[in-house]
Structure 1
Amino acid sequence: MPLDPDRLGGLTRSESGPGGQTFAVRRVRGSDKSYRCPGCDQIVAPGTPHVVAWPTEHLLGAQAGLDDRRHWHAACWQARERRRPTR
Protein backbone atom coordinates (compact mmCIF):
# COMPACT_ATOMS: atom_id res chain seq x y z
CA MET A 1 0.00 0.00 0.00
CA PRO A 2 1.53 3.41 -0.96
CA LEU A 3 2.21 6.03 1.68
CA ASP A 4 -0.44 8.74 2.01
CA PRO A 5 1.32 12.14 2.36
CA ASP A 6 -1.76 13.65 4.04
CA ARG A 7 -1.64 11.05 6.80
CA LEU A 8 2.12 11.45 7.22
CA GLY A 9 1.56 15.13 8.02
CA GLY A 10 -0.38 14.05 11.10
CA LEU A 11 2.46 12.04 12.63
CA THR A 12 3.88 13.34 15.89
CA ARG A 13 7.58 14.15 15.86
CA SER A 14 10.04 15.72 18.29
CA GLU A 15 11.41 19.21 17.69
CA SER A 16 13.24 21.84 19.65
CA GLY A 17 10.77 24.51 20.70
CA PRO A 18 10.90 27.89 22.38
CA GLY A 19 13.63 28.06 25.00
CA GLY A 20 15.29 24.92 23.62
CA GLN A 21 12.72 22.66 25.29
CA THR A 22 11.73 19.49 23.40
CA PHE A 23 8.21 19.55 22.00
CA ALA A 24 5.98 16.93 20.43
CA VAL A 25 4.76 18.48 17.17
CA ARG A 26 1.95 17.50 14.86
CA ARG A 27 0.71 19.20 11.70
CA VAL A 28 -3.08 19.21 11.48
CA ARG A 29 -5.46 20.04 8.64
CA GLY A 30 -7.53 22.37 10.78
CA SER A 31 -10.52 22.06 13.05
CA ASP A 32 -13.91 23.57 13.75
CA LYS A 33 -12.46 25.81 16.47
CA SER A 34 -10.29 28.88 16.41
CA TYR A 35 -7.13 29.14 18.52
CA ARG A 36 -4.76 31.95 19.50
CA CYS A 37 -1.26 31.40 18.10
CA PRO A 38 1.44 31.97 20.75
CA GLY A 39 3.88 33.00 18.03
CA CYS A 40 2.00 36.06 16.74
CA ASP A 41 -0.90 36.37 19.21
CA GLN A 42 -3.34 36.25 16.27
CA ILE A 43 -6.20 33.83 15.61
CA VAL A 44 -5.68 30.51 13.83
CA ALA A 45 -9.01 30.45 11.99
CA PRO A 46 -11.22 27.35 11.87
CA GLY A 47 -10.25 25.05 9.01
CA THR A 48 -6.71 26.48 8.72
CA PRO A 49 -3.92 23.90 8.52
CA HIS A 50 -1.55 24.55 11.45
CA VAL A 51 0.87 23.03 13.97
CA VAL A 52 -0.01 21.68 17.40
CA ALA A 53 2.93 21.54 19.83
CA TRP A 54 3.28 20.51 23.47
CA PRO A 55 6.23 19.98 25.81
CA THR A 56 7.41 16.38 26.02
CA GLU A 57 8.53 16.83 29.61
CA HIS A 58 6.40 18.63 32.15
CA LEU A 59 6.92 19.09 35.88
CA LEU A 60 3.43 17.69 36.52
CA GLY A 61 3.72 14.72 34.14
CA ALA A 62 2.96 13.74 30.57
CA GLN A 63 -0.77 14.52 30.73
CA ALA A 64 -0.02 18.06 31.96
CA GLY A 65 2.32 18.52 28.99
CA LEU A 66 -0.40 17.37 26.62
CA ASP A 67 -2.90 19.67 28.35
CA ASP A 68 -0.41 22.50 27.70
CA ARG A 69 -0.54 22.02 23.92
CA ARG A 70 -0.75 25.12 21.77
CA HIS A 71 -1.91 25.70 18.22
CA TRP A 72 0.54 27.65 16.06
CA HIS A 73 0.36 29.02 12.52
CA ALA A 74 2.81 26.86 10.57
CA ALA A 75 4.90 29.94 9.65
CA CYS A 76 5.00 31.08 13.28
CA TRP A 77 6.22 27.65 14.41
CA GLN A 78 8.90 27.74 11.71
CA ALA A 79 10.00 31.20 12.94
CA ARG A 80 9.86 30.30 16.67
CA GLU A 81 13.62 30.60 17.17
CA ARG A 82 13.67 34.11 15.71
CA ARG A 83 11.00 35.26 18.14
CA ARG A 84 12.09 37.66 20.84
CA PRO A 85 11.79 36.28 24.39
CA THR A 86 8.84 37.80 26.26
CA ARG A 87 10.62 37.82 29.61
Structure 2
Amino acid sequence: MARSHRSRGRAAKSREPHPELDVERLTAGWRRTEVRAGREWNVQPVSEAQAVKAYLCPGCRLEIEPGVAHLVAWRADGVLGDAADLASRRHWHTHCWRIGPT
Protein backbone atom coordinates (compact mmCIF):
# COMPACT_ATOMS: atom_id res chain seq x y z
CA MET A 1 0.00 0.00 0.00
CA ALA A 2 1.37 3.40 -1.01
CA ARG A 3 2.05 6.05 1.58
CA SER A 4 0.40 9.43 1.47
CA HIS A 5 2.74 12.41 1.34
CA ARG A 6 0.25 14.72 3.00
CA SER A 7 0.53 15.57 6.64
CA ARG A 8 -2.42 14.35 8.67
CA GLY A 9 -2.36 17.46 10.82
CA ARG A 10 -2.85 19.64 7.77
CA ALA A 11 -5.92 17.67 6.62
CA ALA A 12 -7.55 18.08 10.03
CA LYS A 13 -6.97 21.84 9.94
CA SER A 14 -8.53 22.16 6.51
CA ARG A 15 -11.81 20.79 7.86
CA GLU A 16 -12.06 23.51 10.52
CA PRO A 17 -14.51 26.29 9.66
CA HIS A 18 -12.99 29.52 8.46
CA PRO A 19 -13.59 32.57 10.63
CA GLU A 20 -16.23 34.91 9.24
CA LEU A 21 -14.82 37.90 7.38
CA ASP A 22 -15.20 41.22 9.19
CA VAL A 23 -16.09 43.53 6.29
CA GLU A 24 -16.11 46.59 8.54
CA ARG A 25 -12.52 45.91 9.57
CA LEU A 26 -11.44 45.28 5.98
CA THR A 27 -12.93 48.51 4.63
CA ALA A 28 -11.92 50.65 7.60
CA GLY A 29 -8.34 50.74 6.31
CA TRP A 30 -9.48 52.59 3.21
CA ARG A 31 -12.05 54.84 4.80
CA ARG A 32 -10.81 58.06 6.31
CA THR A 33 -12.30 61.06 8.05
CA GLU A 34 -11.75 64.60 6.77
CA VAL A 35 -12.90 68.00 7.97
CA ARG A 36 -14.18 70.37 5.27
CA ALA A 37 -15.84 73.72 5.89
CA GLY A 38 -16.20 72.89 9.59
CA ARG A 39 -17.96 69.58 8.89
CA GLU A 40 -16.62 66.09 9.42
CA TRP A 41 -16.85 63.71 6.44
CA ASN A 42 -16.25 59.99 5.94
CA VAL A 43 -14.41 59.48 2.66
CA GLN A 44 -13.94 56.09 1.02
CA PRO A 45 -12.19 55.45 -2.30
CA VAL A 46 -13.89 53.31 -4.96
CA SER A 47 -11.52 51.46 -7.32
CA GLU A 48 -12.06 51.00 -11.05
CA ALA A 49 -13.12 47.39 -10.47
CA GLN A 50 -15.65 48.39 -7.79
CA ALA A 51 -17.17 51.20 -9.88
CA VAL A 52 -19.98 49.36 -11.68
CA LYS A 53 -22.65 52.08 -11.89
CA ALA A 54 -22.83 55.63 -13.20
CA TYR A 55 -23.21 58.46 -10.69
CA LEU A 56 -23.62 62.23 -10.93
CA CYS A 57 -20.75 64.09 -9.24
CA PRO A 58 -22.12 66.87 -7.01
CA GLY A 59 -18.91 68.90 -7.53
CA CYS A 60 -19.00 69.33 -11.31
CA ARG A 61 -22.46 67.89 -12.10
CA LEU A 62 -20.88 65.55 -14.68
CA GLU A 63 -21.35 61.80 -14.80
CA ILE A 64 -18.88 59.44 -13.17
CA GLU A 65 -18.85 56.57 -15.66
CA PRO A 66 -18.66 52.90 -14.66
CA GLY A 67 -15.05 51.76 -14.40
CA VAL A 68 -13.78 55.17 -13.23
CA ALA A 69 -12.13 55.32 -9.80
CA HIS A 70 -13.72 57.92 -7.53
CA LEU A 71 -14.66 58.68 -3.90
CA VAL A 72 -17.78 58.25 -1.82
CA ALA A 73 -18.30 60.87 0.89
CA TRP A 74 -20.91 61.21 3.63
CA ARG A 75 -21.26 63.32 6.78
CA ALA A 76 -19.71 61.90 9.91
CA ASP A 77 -21.28 64.44 12.25
CA GLY A 78 -24.87 64.75 11.07
CA VAL A 79 -27.58 65.37 13.67
CA LEU A 80 -29.97 62.77 12.22
CA GLY A 81 -27.64 59.85 12.94
CA ASP A 82 -25.35 57.48 11.07
CA ALA A 83 -28.12 55.82 9.02
CA ALA A 84 -29.32 59.15 7.62
CA ASP A 85 -25.75 60.28 6.88
CA LEU A 86 -24.97 57.03 5.07
CA ALA A 87 -28.20 57.27 3.07
CA SER A 88 -27.20 60.74 1.87
CA ARG A 89 -23.71 59.70 0.70
CA ARG A 90 -22.52 61.05 -2.65
CA HIS A 91 -20.04 59.83 -5.25
CA TRP A 92 -17.41 62.42 -6.24
CA HIS A 93 -14.68 62.59 -8.86
CA THR A 94 -11.43 62.47 -6.90
CA HIS A 95 -10.37 65.83 -8.37
CA CYS A 96 -13.69 67.48 -7.53
CA TRP A 97 -13.41 66.32 -3.91
CA ARG A 98 -9.83 67.62 -3.70
CA ILE A 99 -10.75 71.10 -4.85
CA GLY A 100 -13.37 71.09 -2.18
CA PRO A 101 -17.02 70.52 -1.48
CA THR A 102 -18.86 73.44 -0.02
Scaled to the shorter chain, the TM-score interval is 0.7 to 0.9
Q: What TM-score results when the alignment is normalised by the length of structure 2?
A: 0.65
Q: 75, 82, 91: which is aligned to 1:55?
A: 75
Residue 43 of structure 2: aligned partner: 25
Q: Over the residues paired in the alignment, what is the CA RMSD in angstroms? A: 2.0
Residue 12 of structure 2: aligned partner: none
Quote how far apart the aligned CAs of 1:60 are.
1.5
Q: What TM-score results when the alignment is normalised by the length of structure 1?
A: 0.75
| Unaligned segments of structure 1, at least 5 residues | 1-6
Quote how far apart the aligned CAs of 1:59 are.
2.1
Q: How many residues align?
A: 74
Residue 39 of structure 1: aligned partner: 59
Tell me which stretches of 4 or more aligned residues in structure 1 moved more than 6 Å.
none
Quote the Cα distance in structure 1 between the aligned partners of 2:75 and 2:53: 22
Identity %: 39
AA in 2 matched with 1:39:
G
Residue 67 of structure 1: aligned partner: 87
Quote how far apart the aligned CAs of 1:54 are.
0.2
Residues 28-79 of structure 1: CA deviation (Å, up to 9, x unaligned): 1142110000110100101100010000022221110011110000000000
